[in-house]
Amino acid sequence: MPYSKRTDLPDNVKHVLPAHAQDIYQQAFNSAWEEYKEAKDRRGDDSREEVAHKVAWAAVKKEYEKGDDDKWHPKR
């Protein structure tokens, strides 16, 4: 279930992340979706989708952080 466009992203991503962070999320999710398609390539019992979401959030957190105002901002 890769995301073909930003508007396809889950609401909890679209409504909290700025556009650039959404792009990062989308690209990381789609990449992880392909990379972890086989269960043997995943750790634990996480589904392909769960792993892809975890990878996507990790990618976002490398460049963005949640501020005191509860909004996501680029890291300085």
CA 74/CA 76 separation, integer angstroms: 6
Specify the higher pLDDT residue, 72 or 1.
72
For residue 27, give the CATH number of its domain: 1.10.1740.70
pTM of the entire predicted model? 0.92
Longest dimension (CA), the chain: 40
Residue 15, φ and ψ in degrees, nearest 5? -90, -5
Residue 66 lies in a domain: yes
Q: Is pLDDT above 90 for 55?
A: yes
Number of domains in the chain: 1
Residue 5 lies in a domain: no
Residue 21 lies in a domain: yes
Residue 51 lies in a domain: yes
Residue 4 lies in a domain: no
pLDDT in tens, 13-26: 999 999 999 999 99
Residue 57's domain comprises 12-37+47-74
Question: Tokens at residue 72, please?
Answer: 């996501």
